[in-house]
Structure formats: C-alpha cells, structure tokens
Amino acid sequence: MQYGTGLPLSGGSYDPVMLKDFAQALDGAGFHVLSSGGHLLSAEPGRFPANPTPTYSGSFFEPFVTYSFLAAVTTRLRFRPSILILPMFPTAMVAKQSAALALLSGGRFELGVGVSWNTVEYAAMNADFRTRGRRLDEQIEVLRLLWAGGPVTFEGRWHHFDAIGLGITPPPIPIWMGTGPGEHQLRRLAKSADGWLPMGDPSASLPQLHELLIEHGRDPLTFGLTGRVTLSDEGAGAWVTHAERLVAMGVTEITLGTPPALDRAASLARLIEGRRVLGDAIG
C-alpha cells in the first residue's frame, strides 16, 4: 500500500524551514506522496457560501515552485498537485514545468488535474469556464505528446503545434484526475488518466469504471485509486477498520489526514503514528 498526505489546502505557511522539516519528517517516516491543493487565487471568506471556505480562500501553495524546493531536501517522497486546475493554464507551460520538475527530482513528480467550480478564478485567468472539460481532454493528449520527446505537430481546437517541442524528455509522469463519479467523468478517467482522486465515495462507480477501462484495453489492476483515512481521536482501531474497507474496495493509495483542531506539531505526530499503525496492520 502507498501512503500520502497533503499540505494544508489553504492557510498554509510559506515558511521554508517549516516546509522543509515537514517534508523531511514525512520522507523519513515512509510516506510516499505529498499533495497540495491547486487553486492559484484566493477570495475573501464568505464570497461563495455554498462552498467550504478553505476551498477558495487562503494562501494556496504554488505547486511547481513549492515542490521544486521540497524535492531538493528529500530523497523518496513523490509530489502531486491535487489538483492543478489545468484548463486555466497554458498547456505547453505546464508540460515544460512538469518535465523539468520530473527530471530534477529524479522522477518524483506526478500531475493531478481537474476542472474546478470557481468561475471567478477562471475569469481572472482569462480562461473559458464553459469549455473547461473539453479543453482538459485535449490538454492531456497534448501533454503526453510533448512528454514523449521530439517535435510535435498537432492541430486541435485549442492547440496548434507545428513541429515544435519541449527540448527535454522527462521520465514517465503519471496523470491523476480529481473528479466526481458521473458517467462522463468515468469515461474521461478510463480514456485519459492513470489514477483517480475521487470526490466522495467511489465504491458504487468502480464496477462501471473497471468495465470502461477494459473497453479501452487497460488493466483495472494497474489503475491508481486513492482513499482517505482521517486519523481521528477514536484511535488506531478505528483507523485500521476504515483502511481495511478501502483496501477491500481496491484503493492503491491511502491519504492520511488529521482533525483540524490539532496544531501543526500534533498533526505531524499523528500522521507519523498513523503511517506506522496502518503499515503494521495492512502493509
């Protein structure tokens, strides 16, 4: 089993010593993945009352800069935005940044992508909210072409490449997709993604996803799936019970979280304890 955790979705500190100590502690404790939220811009609390405040307000970490810093002070930990709102960004820029980070980190970068709900953020980036899903599909196709190395010739709705490329060839960069369980989203996953960062409980949708993967000539056993365990005050028994349900579901990576009431030091200690407990119980 793979284990991951995340930087704070919002309200995180750009203190380099804190970030280094946090990442190195996770690296030493046997964590595999460190993720981060992918919003670029922040709004005032209360701006979107239908959405939790931390999903749109706070000092969100810029993933490529933050992960470049952390890759230089760790040895095993992999890094994944969860998610980068890909349709807001120029595809060639994301391709180059991802390729450079994958090379400089020794292959420890994975790209998590999605579309988001925040129309105001799209407008600020001069990106079309209405076409974000279709643009995402084309972007993923172009990313894989650019990462394959060599010049790319491609004519699409949003991309026009005339025998031009990145000039570098990265190690493989898995693309994970953060999305809900709707049929259209499942079809996109089966066609384009290497793993699923599900929004909510994916269990009812997994049989259909497996069928769609097989239709695309893919092996469901090699497709990544994350699940979350909150390391609550109920203790180790509750953590293991929850993790065992995820394992039975087919989860390949467990993301560990902590109760929001814990301070930074207590949260890190709980994460390390949870990693040890679950590693002993389920591997």
Question: pLDDT tens across 71-113, in order?
Answer: 999 999 999 999 999 999 999 999 999 999 999 999 999 999 9
- CA gap 14, 88 in Å, rounded: 23
Question: pLDDT tens across 118-155, in order?
Answer: 999 999 999 999 999 999 999 999 999 999 999 999 99
Secondary structure tally for the chain: helices H, strands E: 9, 11
Contact partners, residue 113, CB within 8 Å, separation at least 6: 81, 83, 84, 85, 86, 136, 139, 140, 175, 176, 177, 178
- CA gap 119, 162 in Å, rounded: 32
Instruction: Name the band, by pLDDT with cuts 50, 70 and 90, for residue 117.
Output: very high
In whole numbers, what is the pLDDT of the chain averaged over residues?
95
Q: Is residue 169 part of a domain?
A: yes
Q: Which of 200, 199, 179 is nearest to 190 (CA)?
A: 179
pLDDT(10) > 60: no
Q: Is residue 87 part of a domain?
A: yes
Q: Which of 240, 237, 231 is nearest to 272 (CA)?
A: 231
- Reduced to 3 states (helix: H, G, I; strand: E, B; else coil), residue 235 is coil
In this prediction, residue 55 carries a pLDDT of 87
Instruction: Name the band, by pLDDT with cuts 50, 70 and 90, for residue 38.
Output: confident
Prior bond of 83 cis (ω within 30°): yes
In this prediction, residue 9 carries a pLDDT of 60
Q: How many domains does the chain have?
A: 1
Instruction: Name the band, by pLDDT with cuts 50, 70 and 90, for residue 58.
Output: confident
Q: Is residue 78 part of a domain?
A: yes
56: buried, middle or exposed (CB in 10 Å: 19+, 13-18, 0-12)?
Answer: buried
In this prediction, residue 200 carries a pLDDT of 86
Angle between helices 63-71 and 91-104 (to 10 degrees): 10
194: buried, middle or exposed (CB in 10 Å: 19+, 13-18, 0-12)?
Answer: middle
Q: Is residue 227 part of a domain?
A: no
Using alpha carbons only, how large is the chain's radius of gyration in Å? Answer: 19
In this prediction, residue 59 carries a pLDDT of 87
Q: Is residue 208 part of a domain?
A: no
Q: Is residue 10 part of a domain?
A: yes
- CA gap 107, 70 in Å, rounded: 14
In this prediction, residue 13 carries a pLDDT of 78
What is the average pLDDT across 257-273? Answer: 94
In this prediction, residue 12 carries a pLDDT of 61
Q: Is residue 126 part of a domain?
A: yes
What is the average pLDDT across 19-28? Answer: 97
pLDDT(11) > 90: no
- CA gap 180, 196 in Å, rounded: 9
Cβ neighbour number for residue 179 with a 10 Å cutoff: 22
What is the average pLDDT across 168-197? Answer: 96
Domain extent at residue 59 = 1-23+33-173
CATH of the domain at 99: 3.20.20.30
Instruction: Name the band, by pLDDT with cuts 50, 70 and 90, for residue 37.
Output: confident
pLDDT(165) > 60: yes
Q: Is residue 246 part of a domain?
A: no
